Structure 1
Amino acid sequence: MSSRFNIRSCADGLFFFELQASNGRVLVTSRAFRRKQAVLEALRGFQCASNDSFIYLCSEQSSRGFSFYITNGLGKKVAFSEPYSNRWALKQGIEAAKSNAASARIIDLSDVSPL
């Protein structure tokens, strides 16, 4: 399986995307959007942008470990990572998100049962 962006819907009618690596691990999950078109715009921006256009910021969550979030050029949070056990794993997660996003296929799963 190659890396992919999965577009999903929630029971409340909102949409989000997740970047899934080729090994099946979810690297990042987006915030919720009201319109599917807004999700597509956010993920295409993330996918097509140079590494400098999106900013990867780290945060520490004492009980869950380390995570990062991604902001666009306007400073708006676009997506969040899964928790990592240490800083080295966090750095590897950021690099994996950058490398997987560029070539990820877009799969629309929003018509499947909402999460």
Structure 2
Amino acid sequence: MASKFHLKTAKDGQFHFNLLAGNGEIILTSELYKSKPSALNGIESVKNNAQREGAFEVKPAAGGKFHFVLKATNGQVVGQSQLYASEAGCQNGVEAVKKNAPTAALHDDS
């Protein structure tokens, strides 16, 4: 299975997406968007920023775990990861986004 962006509608009518790796695992989750065009712009932002130097920020989380955020050039967070047990695992997640985002297809369930 190829990587894909999965666009969905939230319970409150807003839109969000996940980036899934080829194995179906979620590797990035977006914020909520008020409109579908805004969510689609968010997907393009992930694709464009995934290869940009300095776009990812790895952060410590509670319980000794780690997560990362992907920021656009204006500093706005366009996606974040799940929690990882180690910093090395989190770095692997960053690499997975870098590898998968630019060519991921769109699966629209909104």
TM normalised by structure 2 equals 0.93
Specify the alignment match of 1:19 in structure 2.
19
Structure 1 residue runs of 5 or longer lacking an equivalent are 111-115
Specify the alignment match of 1:4 in structure 2.
4
- Aligned CA RMSD, in angstroms, stands at 1.6
Alignment deviations for residues 33-53 of structure 1 (CA, whole Å, 9 cap, x no partner):
000100101111221446127
Q: CA deviation at 1:21?
A: 0.3
Alignment deviations for residues 37-84 of structure 1 (CA, whole Å, 9 cap, x no partner):
001011112214461277101111123711001110000111110111
TM normalised by structure 1 equals 0.89
Specify the alignment match of 1:101 in structure 2.
101
Q: CA deviation at 1:27?
A: 0.2
C-alpha change, 1:65 and 1:24, in structure 2 (3 Å) is same
Specify the alignment match of 2:65 in structure 1.
65
* Residue identity matched to 1:92: N
Q: Which has the higher helix share?
A: 2
Counterpart CA distance in 2 for 1:75 and 1:108 is 27
Q: Which runs of 4+ in 1 moved over 3 A?
A: none
